[in-house]
Amino acid sequence: MDSMEPDPKLAPFIKPNVLQEQQYRVDGITTISRVPTTDKVVALTFDDGPYRPYTRDKLAILARYGLRATFFWVGTQIKAVPEQAEAVVAAGHEVGNHTNTHPYLTRISSDRIRSEIQTCKSLISDQGAPFIPLFRPPYGFYNSVVMSVAQNLGYLWNVLWTIDTLDYTSPGVSRIVQKVLQGLQPGAIVLMHDWPSQTVSALPAIIEGILERGYRIEPLGSLLGPVIPYCRHLWVASPYLRGEDVVSVQQALLKRGFDPGAVDGVYGPRTAGAVRLFQQQEGLHPDGVVDHEEYQALNVECPAGQPPPYPIYRPDQCRQLQVTSPYMRGEDVAAVQNALGDRGINPGPVDGIYGPQSASGVRAFQQREGLEQDGIFKLDMYPLLMINCPGG
Ligand SMILES: [Zn+2]
């Protein structure tokens, strides 16, 4: 179903049965084919619906086990069988975007891509389903244009799959069950479809087989962290890139003739700019973000980190700095620094750079508010600091 070849440059980082992660890197949207967790948990996903009568049949089975799943809807189907859609929303399942007419997105214009995703998004919203930032490209075909458009429409995850049940080929109920149970692994995303009757017949045995093996079943969006409203924020991927890691990156850049500003352990705009120039020279995606590719290219040892508190997919476990998009800009950081200063907490200079001093200011504020003290400026802090959430 997916014929794209992995990028040889990324090959060492691609795990078996993970598709070509990050072949198309667009800031702010991440391609995942597995939730990066060591927990025994999997997500069930159903594409191409809603569908009569099988969606309702699935809902009854899921309800019997008290489970929630993730449906990737197609707009024309929502219009065709709205009562099935309504039942999904009423049962509290997650609904992601699978376009309006299920085209090959890589073969149509960017305007049509936009209208495909936007139309489906509106129809989902018309059904009263809460927005979750999950997009799945039909047939798993996507490119950087598709990702940019999806990202501009607020999607944070380009969702592929770990286990393809091949249920769309009607291989037989036991074969579908076997596919899932043989491919079971922590964080697996199971791809199924809403329209094959065999999927409905297979579902109870799939669920029981998964549970018997000690796995939990959770909706995908909830595994990928809190639903993030569409506003700019600073979210540092974990394992964290620490001050000393930034220093070694800055030193490596200097050695190669790129000026990262001061070698001060602050990953601010100047360091990011130097990284971008370096990326350009190396033919890497010039996004100013340091991760495994840049470590390798700079010949800096990948700093091993702690297990992530947020399950952001990364093909390795290096500490890294990843600013999610929509970006929190310099002026947003300055607003945070100002607000901290107003509350008697020293965030360092009000310079729009979210460095160690700002992070420790945030940590002090988190301590005062009884929040987790991780120094990361997250969305729940905007209201606490009485700053308007900057629209992205
Ligand atoms: Zn599909």
Half-sphere exposure of 37 (CA within 13 A, CB side): 21
What is the end-to-end Cα distance of the chain in Å, rounded?
34
- Supply 175's token pair: 């074969």
Half-sphere exposure of 210 (CA within 13 A, CB side): 30
CA of 340 to the centre of ligand 1 (A): 47
CA of 186 to the centre of ligand 1 (A): 24
- Supply 389's token pair: 């959430």
- In the chain, DSSP finds a helix count (H) and a strand count (E) of 14, 9
The residue assigned the tokens 């100047």 is 270
CA of 77 to the centre of ligand 1 (A): 11
CA of 192 to the centre of ligand 1 (A): 9
Question: Of 93, 98, 102, 193, which one is the catalytic site residue?
Answer: 193
Provide mean pLDDT across the span 377-381: 68
CA of 166 to the centre of ligand 1 (A): 12
CA of 13 to the centre of ligand 1 (A): 27
Q: What is the DSSP letter of 224?
A: T
> What is the reported pLDDT for 1?
33
d(CA 311, CA 316) in angstroms, rounded, equals 12
CB neighbours of residue 132 within 10 Å: 23
What domains are defined for the chain?
8-223 (3.20.20.370), 330-385 (no CATH)
Looking at this protein, which amino acid is placed at residue 258?
A: F
What pLDDT digit, counting tens, does each position of 242-293 carry?
566 777 778 888 888 888 888 877 666 677 778 888 888 888 877 677 766 6
286: preceding bond cis by omega (within 30 degrees)? no
Question: Of 27, 47, 57, 291, which one is the catalytic site residue?
Answer: 47
> What is the reported pLDDT for 233?
39
User: Are the CB atoms for 302 and 316 separated by under 8 Å?
Assistant: yes
Closest listed residue to residue 264, CA positions, set 391, 160, 349? 349
> What is the reported pLDDT for 4?
34
The residue assigned the tokens 């890197």 is 25
Q: Cα angle vertex 366, ends 363, 372, to 5°? A: 95
Provide mean pLDDT across the span 341-352: 81
d(CA 219, CA 115) in angstroms, rounded, equals 27
34 bridge partner residues:
188
What pLDDT digit, counting tens, does each position of 43-62 carry?
999 999 999 999 999 999 99
Q: Tell me whether residue 47 is one of the annotated catalytic residues.
A: yes
Provide mean pLDDT across the span 336-346: 84
CA of 256 to the centre of ligand 1 (A): 47
Q: How confident is the model at residue 83 (pLDDT cuts 50, 70, 90)?
A: very high
User: Are the CB atoms for 379 and 233 separated by under 8 Å?
Assistant: yes
